[in-house]
């Protein structure tokens, strides 16, 4: 446990992750654009799938981390939990934005429209709005501990809401069956390999971003403390 802690706090870890995810990402790009065969019915546009799915996965992972760390913060009241929750929330919103954009880019040629009020899309949009509120509630709070508490509450309530939102939206649209991406057919070997590698490299990228962001926040908190100290000394 101590070793893991030391590893996570190692100054060079984000750099190592960056190098690793950079290398893997280059390989992923090769796989997506050169290696994997073009999907028969949808053509070239289907390749965005290998970005879209890993990005969506990272967004869900980020929101799950927000949920866990929010519970951790309310239970322990240590700033570390809140810091991770905050940074994961930010990255989650960024990746959900990318999910919506890549989804729209794919939908235009595939469905003939940028947007379809389809369960997954609509749930992603609602999710995006909930976590935007998660970020805003913190910045509108009176002080940072209150902001951390409010945000933790929103992080927990929002996450629990997601399955109910998805269920409701799915039932809402049962009368208008939406195009199903891979109904019946499954991914071929090459496609599955590309997807898996892409998932791995995006997860690494996420780990890098999260650690780096947490480091920056920790430094910002330290600067805050130091400047408070200086102010107090000047007053004396």
Partner 1 sequence: MSGFWGKATAIVVKDVLAELRRKDVAASMLVFALLLLVVFNFAFDITAENEDLLGAGVIWATFTFAGVLGFTRSFVLEKEKDCLSGLMLCPVDRASIYAGKMIASLAFMLLVEAIALPLFAVLFDLDVFQLGMLPVVLLATVGFAAVGTLFSAVAVNSRARDIMLPLLFLPVVVPVIIAAVKSTQHILAGDPWSELWSWLEIMAAFDAVFMVISSYMFEFVTEQ
Q: Answer whether 84's CB lies under 8 Å from 69's CB.
A: yes
CB of 174 to partner 1, least distance (A): 9
Q: Which of 149, 201, 207, 210 binds partner 1 (CB under 8 A)?
A: 149
Query: What is the length of the chain?
Result: 236
* Separation between Cα atoms, residue 158 and residue 126, nearest integer Å: 10
- DSSP helix/strand/coil, 70: helix
Report the 10 Å Cβ neighbour count for 175. Answer: 6
CB of 84 to partner 1, least distance (A): 18
Query: Which residue carries 């926040």 as its tokens?
Result: 217
Q: Which of 154, 191, 205, 210 binds partner 1 (CB under 8 A)?
A: 154
Contacts of 226 (CB under 8 A, 6+ apart): none
Q: How many residues bind partner 1 (CB under 8 A)?
A: 29
What radius of gyration, in Å, describes the C-alpha atoms of the chain? 21
Stretch that binds partner 1, among 17-25, 57-65, 167-175, 191-199 (CB under 8 A): 167-175
Q: Is 146 in the site for partner 1 (CB under 8 A)?
A: yes
Instruction: Annotate each residue in 76-115 with x if it binds partner 1 (CB under 8 A) or - if it does not, as one string.
Output: ----------------------------------------
Positions in 44-63 near partner 1 (CB under 8 A): none
Q: Which of 33, 114, 140, 182 binds partner 1 (CB under 8 A)?
A: 140
* Separation between Cα atoms, residue 69 and residue 78, nearest integer Å: 10
* Residue of 205, 137, 190 lying closest to 31 (CA atoms): 190
Residue numbers at the binding site for partner 1 (CB under 8 A)? 74, 126, 129-130, 132-133, 136-137, 140-142, 146, 149-150, 152-154, 156-158, 160-161, 164-165, 167-169, 171-172
């Amino acid at each position: 446990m101590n070793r893991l802690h030391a590893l996570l706090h190692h100054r060079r870890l984000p750099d190592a992750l960056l190098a690793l995810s950079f290398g893997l990402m280059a390989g992923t790009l090769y796989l997506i654009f050169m290696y994997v065969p073009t999907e028969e019915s949808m053509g070239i546009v289907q390749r965005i799938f290998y970005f879209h799915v890993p990005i969506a996965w990272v967004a869900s992972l980020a929101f799950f981390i927000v949920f866990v760390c929010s519970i951790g913060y309310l239970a322990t009241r240590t700033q570390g939990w809140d810091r991770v929750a905050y940074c994961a929330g930010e990255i989650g919103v960024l990746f959900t934005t990318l999910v919506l954009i890549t989804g729209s880019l794919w939908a235009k040629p595939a469905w003939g429209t940028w947007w379809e009020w389809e369960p997954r899309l609509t749930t992603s949009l609602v999710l995006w709005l909930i976590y935007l509120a998660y970020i805003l509630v913190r910045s509108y709070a009176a002080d940072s501990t209150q902001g951390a508490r409010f945000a933790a509450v929103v992080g927990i309530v929002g996450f629990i809401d997601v399955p109910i939102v998805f269920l409701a939206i799915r039932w809402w649209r049962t009368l208008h069956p939406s195009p199903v991406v891979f109904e019946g057919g499954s991914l071929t070997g090459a496609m599955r390999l590309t997807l898996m590698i892409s998932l791995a490299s995006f997860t690494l990228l996420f780990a890098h971003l999260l650690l780096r962001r947490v480091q920056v926040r920790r430094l910002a908190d330290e600067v805050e403390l130091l400047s408070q100290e200086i102010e107090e000394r000047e007053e004396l």
